[in-house]
Structure formats: C-alpha cells, structure tokens
Amino acid sequence: MKQRGYTLIELTLVIMLVGLMMGLSVPKIRSLLITDNLKSSTLRIIGLINELRSDAVRENRVYFLHVNMGSNLIWVGFEGMSQEESELARKNAFQLSQDVNIVDVWRMDKGKEVDGEAIVRISCKGYLEYSIIHLEDDDGREFSIVLQPFLGNIKSYDRYVENEDI
C-alpha cells in the first residue's frame, strides 16, 4: 500500500523558503506603504485643496493656493487678506518633505511655471483654476495633481502628466 503525502524534510524546506521570502519582502513593502513621502505629500495637498473648496463655498470667499517652487512651501491666502495675515500664512506654510520637490505648476492662463511662486485661484463657488502641480522625489518618481475647474474630484497620476495628456 503506497501512502501519499509530504515528508517532514519537504515540509520543513517549504516553510523555510516561505519564511525567507517573507523576511526579504515585508520590510520593503512596509517602508513603501508607511514612509512614501511623495505619496503622502500628494495626498496632503489634495486634502488641503478639498478643504479650501469647502471653505470657499461655505464662507463665500475666494481663496488662493500659493505654491513656491524654490522653497517647496505651500500656503493659503484669501481675497481681502491683510499684509499681516499674509505674512502669518506664509510663516505657517506647509513644507514638503526634504526628499520631495515641486517641479513646476502649469496653469491655463500662465503656462508652465518652473520657479518662483504660482498662485492657484479657488472661486467662492468652489471652482478651481485649471492647473497641474508636478511633484518629484529624490528617486526620480513623479506625481501630477490635476485640478479641473468644474469636476468634483482632483485627479493624481503617478507620472508626469502634460495638459495634452488629459
């Protein structure tokens, strides 16, 4: 009578191989999920813009998203803001992670801006100025945040997207 099954040596070998593969892959996956500064910066910017849209409608006020390519700072202004309020907003700006850079900002009326400060307008009805914000990390990975005027959602792409690609 022939018995079918696996020997103890075969089972031990398979368990060791699976353990070795898990040991090598889990730390890499964990670090990608937890410490992906490019993705977390992208999500934070999208969250900020969504919050601004809600505030603009609720307060019936025009807001401005200031994006400074040189210093990698993002801050918020609004119509009728005093000089003192503007300086305070700039002082409390959101600083991107050290390994994430703002590459450029494309706007419908201004084209591509690669240095200085770009200002994206959010109307009192929550409409966004048609814009694309491009981010890049030190590893060369890129993200594009596409702001479309009348759509309710903001799209992000894990590559560099030109206006013609949309």
**Is residue 155 included in any domain, yes or no?**
yes
3-state DSSP of 72-127:
CEEEEEECCCCHHHHHHHHHCCEECCCCEEEEEEEECCCEEECCCEEEEEECCCCC
pLDDT tens sequence for the chain (166 residues): 567 778 889 889 999 999 888 877 776 666 555 567 888 889 899 999 999 999 999 999 999 999 999 899 999 999 888 899 989 988 989 888 888 999 999 998 888 989 899 999 999 898 898 999 999 998 889 999 999 887 767 899 989 998 877 6
Looking up residue 128, the CATH number of its domain turns out to be: 3.55.40.10
Q: Residue 164 gets which letter from DSSP?
A: G
Please state, in angstroms and rounded to a whole number, the distance separating the CA atoms of residues 42 and 39. Answer: 5
What residues make up the domain containing 52?
A: 37-165
Other CB atoms within 10 A of residue 31 CB: 10
pLDDT at residue 31, as a whole number: 58
Q: Considering the entire predicted model, what is its pTM?
A: 0.76
pLDDT at residue 67, as a whole number: 94
**Is residue 89 included in any domain, yes or no?**
yes
**Is residue 58 included in any domain, yes or no?**
yes
Are 128 and 122 in contact by the 8 Å Cβ rule? The answer is yes
Q: Which of 84, 82, 127, 87 is nearest to 108 (CA)?
A: 127
**Is residue 6 included in any domain, yes or no?**
no
Q: How many domains does the chain have?
A: 1
- Percent helix, strand, coil in the chain, to 5, is 35, 30, 35
**Is residue 71 included in any domain, yes or no?**
yes
